[in-house]
Amino acid sequence: MKILCVGMNHRSAPLDLRQCLAFDKTQTERALALLKTRYDTAEFVILSTCNRVEIYSASPVDDQPTAADMVAELARLHHVELQMLSDETVYKLRDEEAVEHLLCVASSLDSMVVGESQIIWQTKEAFLWAIDAEATGKYLNRLFHRAFSTAKKVHAATEIGRRRTSVAGVAVELASRIFSDFRRKRVLVVGAGEMAELAITHLKADGVEDVMVVNRSGERGRSLAERFGADFCSWDRLDDCLAASDIVISSVSAGGPVLQRQQMADVHRRRRYANWMILDLGVPRNVDADVGRLSNVFLYDVDRLGQVVSDNIEQRRQEVDAARSIIADEARAYIEWFQSRDVGPLIKRLEGRLHELGDEELERLFRRLPDDVPPEQREEIRLATHRIVHKLLHGPISVLKEEARQDRAQMSIRALRRLFRLDDHLPPPDDAACVQPGDDSCGSDEGGEE
Amino acid sequence: MTILLPVHVAAMVGAILILLSGGVAGLVYLAQERSLRHGRVEGWNRRLPSIERLQRFNQRAVYGGFGLLTFGIAVGAAILFLRAESANLNWLDSRILATFSVWLLCAGLVALAARPRFRGRPVALLTIAALMLTVTIPVVAGMLWPSWHAFFGGGGAAG
């Protein structure tokens, strides 16, 4: 069997091209049905997100689809010119590379924001759709389950997913460290512009219910509050609204601070010095920097939040090495299992290879023998050669089969593949020009690029 | 009388333990607060309670510890009152005086903790200080001056 991954991501292809080749649920179902009809011995899963489009397949080694077939299918399914899917934009991965790639994808190492958590759900969804379409089988089922467990392991064992990488995410995390339940706190949004709207959207999405808007322009503020089901407070009651708040998000367009230190100190006294979180999203700042020195006041401006986001992204990147180590181990475990399932075809290939060698030598011998050697004798010699090959292989094959039954054939399989060069994507010994597996220019003895 | 002594001991030990937990909460609060002021949320931050919860715990530990300390001292005073004549015990014992001064310190801490202005960092620092003083003052006093009050293995004929 071979495992293939053919696709493109945010690094290999521009957004326009990815959008042309994206699959929604209906398109995925249709595509899987079509692929199964064309290649009934193969298994397929299609993963399509805003940052990648990938088709995974498992199929017999000597059978279609090859990687080239899959690229052609991708173009055909979306009525796109095949020339648009060049080697620069579309990657073709096989076996170990494909397995490791999927594990990296599911663990979010291949994501635009390393450590993001959405990709695992997208991968699960893609797998479920493939199950519903009866497009998967033993190999991809096991592979995808391995991918999910690896992702869980990576996220548990490393910090890769823990640090927030957006300003909103960082703010929520800080709020949850300051307040025991920030969703029950009163949030005051100062301003009614785009940032204020974004802030209210995030707050509501995070479950905050008590939101109040205050703005210099009453009309805009009221309109924003109504749209989001928030309360509205007029600017002249700003101090009262501040005194009643636990979290303040300020994003007003002003030439300088609109919330001064003394004003905030007076309000803080009215609040009886309860914990106060202030997010100053204004540029230039809306809140006097000295406000952050007041006791129990946690003031974060855009620079501070941006710095935290950068630090978090950097920390996530540092976790990548640890994550890759886990992924390499898991990929190896899957490949060993995968190769141990290959005992039958492997034995067939080994026998075929040795018989081929035997037949070559027989032909050479027959050319040297006198012409008057009867055909029956030639046949006897041929049969004797075959019997020799069978006897030579009988012992090793019995051992291999027994080991496979006990699920410990991995080492023997590896040795056989290496010693007899049974991997179909390895170049023939006399082709010194090939250096890359799957290189088109190789003309491998299995007949083509995979 | 027989019951008063164990009650006194239990209350005093309980008060110290509560103040100890308040002190630990105060330490943790200080670390959390410092980290959060810089916008840092590390792995250890996430495992600890929030600032709000730590403050609340700290405050309750101060009130609870002080309450139990007061009770323990009151029971001790009752013991002393009942046994002073027969056992020739002296109210002006070093450890007794030290304990009363600790009580006054803690009373001051409670008064400050009740004021909103001292919420958070000041109370945390004072709790840690009060805990250290509660443990060390009576012990040191008993070591420097003779005391009939036997606790922590020191002292003479009390009991």
Contact assessment for residue A4 and residue A67, using Cβ atoms and an 8 Å cutoff: yes
Q: How many angstroms separate the CA atoms of A348 and A327, rounded?
A: 32
Give me the count of residues in chain A.
450
Is the CB of B32 less than 8 angstroms away from the CB of A177? Answer: yes
Q: How many angstroms separate the CA atoms of A349 and A304, rounded?
A: 63
Of A180, A304, A307, which is closest to B53 when you measure between CB atoms? Answer: A180
Interface test with A, best of B37, B46, B58, B115 (most A CBs within 10 A): B37
The residue of chain A nearest to residue B116, with distances taken between CA atoms, is A272
Q: SS3 helix, strand, coil % of chain A, rounded to 5?
A: 55, 10, 30
Cα dihedral A161→A163→A165→A167 (10° resolution): 140
Is the CB of A178 less than 8 angstroms away from the CB of B50? Answer: yes
Q: Which of A156, A230, A161 lies closest to A190, judged by CA? A: A230
User: Could you give the ipTM of this predicted complex?
Assistant: 0.84
Tokens of A140: 């991809």
CB atoms within 10 A of CB A76: 12
Residues of A labelled as active-site residues: 50
More confident residue, A245 or B154: A245
Backbone conformation region of residue A447, classed left if phi is above 0, alpha if psi is from -120 to 50, else beta: left
Condensed to tens digits (0 to 9), the pLDDT of residues B37-77 reads 888 777 777 788 999 999 999 989 999 999 999 999 999 88
Contact assessment for residue A188 and residue A234, using Cβ atoms and an 8 Å cutoff: no
Is the CB of B121 less than 8 angstroms away from the CB of A295? Answer: yes
Backbone conformation region of residue B36, classed left if phi is above 0, alpha if psi is from -120 to 50, else beta: alpha
Interface of B with A (CB under 8 A): 32, 36-41, 43, 45-46, 49-53, 55, 116-117, 119-122
Residues of chain B neighbouring A269 (CB-CB closer than 8 A): 117
Contact assessment for residue B98 and residue B138, using Cβ atoms and an 8 Å cutoff: yes
Tokens of B25: 């909460």
The residue of chain A nearest to residue B38, with distances taken between CA atoms, is A304
Is the CB of B52 less than 8 angstroms away from the CB of A295? Answer: no
Is the CB of A179 less than 8 angstroms away from the CB of B117? Answer: no
Q: Does A235 touch chain B (CB under 8 A)?
A: no
Is the CB of B46 less than 8 angstroms away from the CB of A308? Answer: no
What pLDDT is stored for residue A447 in this prediction?
A: 33
- Which residue is listed with tokens 């997100």? A49
Beta bridge partners of A300: A279
Chain centroid to CA A231: 42
Residues of chain A neighbouring B52 (CB-CB closer than 8 A): 178-180, 275
What is the maximal distance between C-alpha atoms in chain A? 119
- Which residue is listed with tokens 């940052």? A51
Is the CB of B39 less than 8 angstroms away from the CB of A273? Answer: no
Q: Which of B117, B121, B123 lies closest to A271, judged by CA? A: B117
Chain A nearest-CA distance from B128, in A, is 18
Interface test with A, best of B28, B35, B44, B51 (most A CBs within 10 A): B51
Residues of chain B neighbouring A176 (CB-CB closer than 8 A): 50
The dihedrals phi and psi of B48, each to the nearest 5 degrees, come to -90, 160
Q: How many angstroms separate the CA atoms of A238 and A360, rounded?
A: 95
Q: Does A432 touch chain B (CB under 8 A)?
A: no
Amino acid, single-letter form, for residue B96: I
Residue B154 has pLDDT above 50, yes or no: no
Residue A65 CB contacts under 8 Å (≥ 6 apart), including other chains? A4, A35, A38, A39, A42, A57, A59, A73
Q: Which of A283, A248, A158, A311 lies closest to B35, judged by CA? A: A311
Q: Which of A134, A171, A151, A144 lies closest to A43, judged by CA? A: A134
What is the pTM (predicted TM-score) of this model?
Answer: 0.64
Beta bridge partners of A3: A58
Q: Give CA angle at A388 (A386, A390), nearest 5°.
A: 70
Is the CB of B51 less than 8 angstroms away from the CB of A178? Answer: yes
The residue of chain B nearest to residue A176, with distances taken between CA atoms, is B50
Q: Does A291 touch chain B (CB under 8 A)?
A: no
Alpha carbon distances (Å) from A339 to A136, A194, A305, A392, A443: 18, 56, 49, 23, 24
Contact assessment for residue A170 and residue A304, using Cβ atoms and an 8 Å cutoff: no
Report chain B's C-alpha Rg in angstroms.
18
Chain A nearest-CA distance from B133, in A, is 25
Is the CB of B120 less than 8 angstroms away from the CB of A296? Answer: yes
Is the CB of A173 less than 8 angstroms away from the CB of B41? Answer: yes
Q: Does A366 touch chain B (CB under 8 A)?
A: no
Q: How many angstroms separate the CA atoms of A116 and A123, rounded?
A: 13
What pLDDT is stored for residue A446 in this prediction?
A: 33
Contact assessment for residue A323 and residue A160, using Cβ atoms and an 8 Å cutoff: yes
Q: How many angstroms separate the CA atoms of B57 and B128, rounded?
A: 13
Pairing of strands A91-94, A187-190: unpaired
Q: Which of B51, B32, B36 lies closest to B119, judged by CA? A: B51
Q: Does A296 touch chain B (CB under 8 A)?
A: yes
CB pairs under 8 A between A and B: 61
Q: Does A172 touch chain B (CB under 8 A)?
A: no
Q: How many angstroms separate the CA atoms of A382 and A375, rounded?
A: 10
CB atoms within 10 A of CB A131: 14
Is the CB of A272 less than 8 angstroms away from the CB of B53? Answer: no
Q: What is the pLDDT along chain A (450 residues), one digit of tens a residue?
A: 789 999 999 889 888 888 888 899 999 999 999 999 999 889 999 999 988 999 999 987 767 788 888 999 999 888 888 888 888 889 999 989 999 999 999 999 898 877 888 899 999 999 999 999 999 998 999 999 999 999 999 988 887 877 777 788 888 888 989 999 989 999 999 988 888 888 888 888 888 889 999 998 888 889 889 988 889 999 999 999 999 999 999 988 888 889 999 999 999 999 999 999 999 988 888 999 999 999 999 999 988 888 888 888 888 888 888 899 999 999 999 988 887 776 777 788 888 888 888 889 988 988 888 888 888 888 899 899 989 988 988 888 888 877 776 667 767 877 887 888 876 544 444 333 333 333 333 233 333 322
Q: Check residue A237 and report its DSSP letter.
A: G
CB atoms within 10 A of CB A214: 28
Half-sphere exposure of residue A362: CA atoms within 13 angstroms, side-chain side: 18
Q: How many angstroms separate the CA atoms of B152 and A363, rounded?
A: 102
- Roughly what angle, to the nearest 10 degrees, separates helices B51-87 and A167-178? 20
Residues of chain A neighbouring B49 (CB-CB closer than 8 A): 180
Contact assessment for residue A8 and residue A47, using Cβ atoms and an 8 Å cutoff: no
The residue of chain A nearest to residue B120, with distances taken between CA atoms, is A296
Q: Does A274 touch chain B (CB under 8 A)?
A: yes
Of B52, B117, B119, which is closest to A178 when you measure between CB atoms? Answer: B52
